[in-house]
Amino acid sequence: MGRRAKNKQGDPTPLADREVNGLSAKKLGKRKAEFDDEGVKGGLGKRPVKKVKEAVKSKTVKVVEGKGKKVDGKKGVKRKKEGEVTKKSKKAVVVDEDESEGGDEEMEDEGSSEGWEDVDEDELQTQRKSLFDNSDDDEAFDGDLADYDMEDGEHEADDMLRGPVQELDLGSSSEDEDEPASTTRLKGKKSKQSERPAKIIPTGSDASSSSEEDSEEEDGGRVTMKNMEARSKALDAKAAREAELDLAEMRAAAVGSGDEGDDLEGLEDEDDVEGGEGEDGEGAFVLPTAEEREEEKKAGGPQVHVVQRRMKECVRVLGNFRKLGAKGRSRAEYVLQLVSDIANYYGYNEFLAEKLFQLFPVSEAIEFFEANEVPRPVTIRTNTLRARRRDLAQALINRGVNLEPIGKWTNVGLQVFESSVPIGATPEYLAGHYMLQAASSFLPVIALSPQPNERVLDMASAPGGKTTHMAALMQNTGVVFANDANKARTKSLTANVHRLGCKNVVVCSYDGREFPKVMGGFDRVLLDAPCSGTGVISKDASVKTNKTERDFTLLSHLQKQLILCAIDSVTPDSKTGGYLVYSTCSVTVDENEAVVDYALRKRPNVKLVETGLEFGVPGFKSFRGKQFNPAVSMTRRFYPHVHNMDGFFVAKFKVEKRTKKIEKDESEDGEDGEKEAVGAFAFDAEEDKEYIEESKRKSMKAKGLRVPPRPSTKAAPAASS
Ligand SMILES: C[S@@+](CC[C@H](N)C(=O)[O-])C[C@H]1O[C@@H](n2cnc3c(N)ncnc32)[C@H](O)[C@@H]1O
């Protein structure tokens, strides 16, 4: 097939030696900004801690510590004085503070970047990785799961845009064959992905006419302001068509029509390696028995070419098991072998390999695992409080940044293909004209669609990518309470809030489960929940090996608690809103559909509504025998191998008034302890058995009592690679 790889983009390539506006990078200016870690002068992280009420009263952005009194719903946090926190360059480009998100298409092309060329030479020499320092992206929850919370867990968001991952060598040389798998599995070979930077895939509906494609060809080489939109549309159209073809192929393969295995790009060189042996040829594939597998393990694991071939063969057989399955061997045996080989080949623990494998038809699963080996496109979000996308694009193009609009679905996003300057340290970045943010992170905010003058809660908000996006959509009016239980992480949140000039944000630090006790009555709530990060494995490969079954149990439990508190924090009386968006950067069902389904069961006054997102795969209505509320199909899943974005999940709820009947039912349920009473989290005796046990253990531990051993859970062996 070979099309799948085109969906992917390597890191933007530094253009160190390229001339920018007639000047080589080296000739560019000398000023070096003195900024702290968060890119804000003066170490804003050290600002004094204040209580929420004070923050509201003083109408400035403060960090608020947990355990406070209830704060009533005053709107309209007053703007800070201009320039109070954000240091702009003296020669900053003209910024129209009132420009809203939708405005940039009509703007005149006035993008001069004069005065911005004084970038320090050292910065220009910075290594690739530092292109993305100060990344603002969000991240998966990686705290201490035993305490399910926010104990630090700060692997810096910069990871998002780290240097190139090693790429898979899917062929094999004769020398390789004698080496152990662990040494031959990964190779620094240049992959197809980096040959052609790929667009983020929006949706088939974005496909545009062939004239747009023509314009791409006419324009040929470099992106200019003039050809940017047309090129973008043409690329989107092409990419969307390719994505659709890929999906169709994958589905056909899954249904099983014969030669699907040959379509697995990641494994396509295998026949060459093996000298073209097919099933009927000499050395035909024979599925190892359990004993043979044991022996293989004892001998140090299989060789890479053996694993490659076996994976391909297993996928082929599983694609049409009735016809291709060997006599006397079950489908489950092929699956077992395949999962074990996937774990080995891609470096996952077997537990997680299986969990992720189960989400997809067989051949699509390989696509997913392959996509996790490739970095996602580098994207930035224009901060419309400080800049217009057009001006920002021009300014960055003038600096030697090669970029394009992400796609029709966002009018603030830009995809960076290559850059001669560190994207996380340009004057425009430091002046808050943009946020380094994964495209997937735009989605929950677009779905929530906060309106000017509303009162909004971002329940788990650090480092603030989505908070600052919401503040911009609200045009710096109303108020966004940006909460994060991890106080250390509120430093970067506060820094971003200041850098981007958000004046309607109050930063606070409570456990989300304390809402709505500390404050409620919100028009809209975003719960971008702490999660396992199985959608962002390309950024954080540690997820492959450090997640166990217990982690998922605990996370799912925390997410269920948080979502009920989030629902209860929304006022059904809101004149303009009454919505909750739940999102995660994880693709597992336990953290997504199961949480949504739980919320629907526990809170009969909420219903799912369409996210309003133009693309994304519907959530699972059932999974492995478990039936969910059919409305769960209104939720949206995003995948690296389909959308060329981080794996992501978005659900949107409308919170309605509690009827007398609901309240009566709940109080009756409350009596026997089966369901929780209004506003307080309680467990469902049967369904939450595991959680109850875990909770008891925690409270015993806290009291210093001896904790009985946990009942044995499924082992999560480390991957042998
Ligand atoms: C996925 S990240 C949020 C990213 C953020 N929304 C953004 O766009 O930048 C999840 C956050 O949840 C926080 N967190 C973990 N447990 C929490 C809890 N019980 N209450 C509130 N926040 C919590 C973590 O500290 C982490 O910052």
Residue 592 has pLDDT above 90, yes or no: yes
Residue 114 has pLDDT above 80, yes or no: no
Which pLDDT tens digit goes with each residue over 517-552? 999 999 999 999 999 999 999 999 999 999 999 999
Query: Quick one: average pLDDT of 605-624?
Result: 97
ipTM surpassing 0.95? yes
Residue identifier of the C-alpha nearest atom 27 of ligand 1: 462
Q: Give the pair of three-digit tokens for residue 667.
A: 């109080």
Which pLDDT tens digit goes with each residue over 255-280? 443 333 334 444 444 333 333 334 44
Between the CA of 483 and the centroid of ligand 1 the distance, in Å, is: 8
**Neighbouring residues of 603: CB distance < 8 A, sequence distance ≥ 6:** 564, 567, 568
* 3-class secondary structure, 294: helix
314, 502, 508, 585: which one is catalytic?
Answer: 585
Between the CA of 528 and the centroid of ligand 1 the distance, in Å, is: 7
Q: Residue 301 has what pLDDT?
A: 86
Query: Quick one: average pLDDT of 140-150?
Result: 45
**Neighbouring residues of 165: CB distance < 8 A, sequence distance ≥ 6:** 373, 374, 375, 538, 541
Q: Distance between CA atoms of 482 and 460, rounded to whole angstroms?
A: 7
Out of 86-90, 361-365, 419-423, 663-667, which region has the weakest mean confidence (pLDDT)? 86-90
Which domains occur in the chain, in start order?
55-82+441-660 (3.40.50.150), 256-371 (no CATH)
Q: Give the pair of three-digit tokens for residue 228.
A: 């940017």
Q: Give the pair of three-digit tokens for residue 562.
A: 């948080």
Q: Distance between CA atoms of 566 and 582, rounded to whole angstroms?
A: 9
Q: Give the pair of three-digit tokens for residue 70.
A: 């209830």
Please report how the helices 304-319 and 331-346 are oriented relative to each other, as an axis angle in degrees rounded to 10.
140
Between the CA of 157 and the centroid of ligand 1 the distance, in Å, is: 13
* Ligand 1 nearest atom to the CA of residue 511, by list position: 20
With pLDDT > 90 as the criterion, what percentage of the chain qualifies? 50
Q: Residue 35 has what pLDDT?
A: 28
Between the CA of 67 and the centroid of ligand 1 the distance, in Å, is: 17
Residues present in the chain in total = 721
Between the CA of 533 and the centroid of ligand 1 the distance, in Å, is: 12
Confidence of residue 700 (pLDDT cuts 50, 70, 90): confident
Which pLDDT tens digit goes with each residue over 29-67? 332 333 233 333 322 223 333 333 333 333 334 455 444
Q: Residue 285 has what pLDDT?
A: 86
CA torsion sign for 231, 237, 241, 247 is: positive
Out of 235-244, 352-361, 379-388, 547-556, which region has the weakest mean confidence (pLDDT)? 235-244
CA torsion sign for 206, 209, 210, 214 is: negative
Torsion of CA 342, 348, 351, 355, to 10 degrees: -70
Q: Strand pairing partners for 249?
A: none
22-31, 93-102, 613-622, 676-685, range with greatest mean pLDDT: 613-622
Confidence of residue 704 (pLDDT cuts 50, 70, 90): confident
b or e along 256-269 (b: 16 or more beta carbons within 10 Å of the residue's beta carbon)? beeebbbbbbbbbb
Phi, psi of 168 (to 5 degrees): -75, 135
Between the CA of 520 and the centroid of ligand 1 the distance, in Å, is: 18
Q: Determine the residue of 38, 136, 141, 473 to mutate for testing ligand 1's pocket, defined as the one with the most ligand atoms within 8 A of the Cβ atom.
A: 141
Confidence of residue 509 (pLDDT cuts 50, 70, 90): very high
Q: Assess whether 531 carries a catalytic annotation.
A: no
Confidence of residue 215 (pLDDT cuts 50, 70, 90): very low
Q: Strand pairing partners for 514?
A: none
**Neighbouring residues of 719: CB distance < 8 A, sequence distance ≥ 6:** 343, 344, 347, 348, 349, 350, 353, 544, 545
Q: Determine the residue of 148, 152, 486 to mutate for testing ligand 1's pocket, defined as the one with the most ligand atoms within 8 A of the Cβ atom.
A: 486
Q: Distance between CA atoms of 479 and 502, rounded to whole angstroms?
A: 10
Strand (E) or helix (H) holding 650: strand 648-655
Strand (E) or helix (H) holding 515: none
Measured from CB, residues less than 6 Å from any atom of ligand 1 are 138-139, 141, 149-150, 441, 459-466, 484-486, 489, 511-513, 528, 530
* Ligand 1 nearest atom to the CA of residue 441, by list position: 8
Strand (E) or helix (H) holding 576: none
Identify which of 265, 56, 69 has the alpha carbon closest to the alpha carbon of residue 167.
265
* Ligand 1 nearest atom to the CA of residue 459, by list position: 21
Between the CA of 530 and the centroid of ligand 1 the distance, in Å, is: 5
Q: Determine the residue of 154, 156, 461, 469 to mutate for testing ligand 1's pocket, defined as the one with the most ligand atoms within 8 A of the Cβ atom.
A: 461
Between the CA of 599 and the centroid of ligand 1 the distance, in Å, is: 19
Write the CA distances from 79 to 65, 87, 365, 383, 456, integer angstroms. 22, 16, 49, 17, 16
Q: Residue type at 185?
A: R
**Neighbouring residues of 277: CB distance < 8 A, sequence distance ≥ 6:** 271, 283, 284, 285
- Rg from Cα positions in the chain: 26
Q: Is the peptide bond before 180 cis (omega within 30 degrees of 0)?
A: no
Identify which of 488, 508, 467, 492 has the alpha carbon closest to the alpha carbon of residue 36.
492
Query: Quick one: average pLDDT of 130-154?
Result: 43
Query: Quick one: average pLDDT of 615-625?
Result: 97
Q: Residue 282 has what pLDDT?
A: 42
Residue 24 has pLDDT above 60, yes or no: no
**Neighbouring residues of 157: CB distance < 8 A, sequence distance ≥ 6:** 135, 136, 137, 138, 139, 463, 492
**208 alpha-carbon distance from chain centroid:** 27
Strand (E) or helix (H) holding 372: none
User: Higher model confidence: residue 129 or residue 560?
Assistant: 560
Q: Residue 692 has what pLDDT?
A: 61
Out of 15-24, 284-293, 413-422, which region has the weakest mean confidence (pLDDT)? 15-24
* Ligand 1 nearest atom to the CA of residue 153, by list position: 25
Q: Where are the beta strands (DSSP E) in 437-584?
A: 455-458, 479-483, 505-508, 524-528, 579-584
Per-chain mean pLDDT for the chain: 70
CB atoms within 10 A of CB 350: 21
CB atoms within 10 A of CB 613: 17
Q: Determine the residue of 144, 457, 484, 525 to mutate for testing ligand 1's pocket, defined as the one with the most ligand atoms within 8 A of the Cβ atom.
A: 484
Q: Residue 701 has what pLDDT?
A: 73
Between the CA of 167 and the centroid of ligand 1 the distance, in Å, is: 31
Which pLDDT tens digit goes with each residue over 452-498? 999 999 999 999 999 999 999 999 999 999 999 999 999 999 999 99
Between the CA of 529 and the centroid of ligand 1 the distance, in Å, is: 6
* Ligand 1 nearest atom to the CA of residue 530, by list position: 10
Q: Is the peptide bond before 463 cis (omega within 30 degrees of 0)?
A: yes
Write the CA distances from 70 to 24, 67, 73, 521, integer angstroms. 57, 9, 10, 11
Q: Residue 660 has what pLDDT?
A: 72
Q: Residue 284 has what pLDDT?
A: 77
Q: Residue type at 644?
A: N
Q: Give the pair of three-digit tokens for residue 72.
A: 């009533």
Q: Strand pairing partners for 142?
A: none
Q: Strand pairing partners for 623?
A: 626
Q: Which residue blocks in 93-165 are alpha helix, DSSP H?
A: 121-125
Q: Residue 45 has what pLDDT?
A: 29
Residue 80 has pLDDT above 60, yes or no: no
**In terms of DSSP bridges, do strands 410-419 and 434-436 run parallel, antiparallel, or are they unpaired?**
unpaired
Q: Distance between CA atoms of 11 and 1, rounded to whole angstroms?
A: 24
Q: Is the peptide bond before 516 cis (omega within 30 degrees of 0)?
A: yes
Q: Residue 207 has what pLDDT?
A: 33
Residue identifier of the C-alpha nearest atom 4 of ligand 1: 138
* Ligand 1 nearest atom to the CA of residue 484, by list position: 22
Burial status of residue 389 (CB atoms within 10 A of its CB: 0-12, 13-18, 19 or more) = buried
Q: How far apart are the first and last CA of the chain?
A: 27
Residue identifier of the C-alpha nearest atom 23 of ligand 1: 485
* Ligand 1 nearest atom to the CA of residue 137, by list position: 9
User: Higher model confidence: residue 45 or residue 704?
Assistant: 704
Query: Quick one: average pLDDT of 124-137?
Result: 39
Q: Residue type at 568?
A: D
With pLDDT > 70 as the criterion, what percentage of the chain qualifies? 54
CB atoms within 10 A of CB 332: 8
Q: Distance between CA atoms of 607 and 311, rounded to whole angstroms?
A: 42
* 3-class secondary structure, 356: helix
Query: Quick one: average pLDDT of 506-526?
Result: 98
Q: Distance between CA atoms of 612 and 5, rounded to whole angstroms?
A: 28
Residue identifier of the C-alpha nearest atom 16 of ligand 1: 149
* Ligand 1 nearest atom to the CA of residue 585, by list position: 1
Which pLDDT tens digit goes with each residue over 638-672? 999 999 999 999 999 999 998 877 666 666 654 33
Out of 189-198, 304-313, 411-420, 608-617, which region has the weakest mean confidence (pLDDT)? 189-198
Residue 395 has pLDDT above 50, yes or no: yes
Q: Determine the residue of 64, 144, 150 to mutate for testing ligand 1's pocket, defined as the one with the most ligand atoms within 8 A of the Cβ atom.
A: 150
Residue 183 has pLDDT above 80, yes or no: no
Out of 181-190, 466-475, 603-612, which region has the weakest mean confidence (pLDDT)? 181-190
**Neighbouring residues of 217: CB distance < 8 A, sequence distance ≥ 6:** none
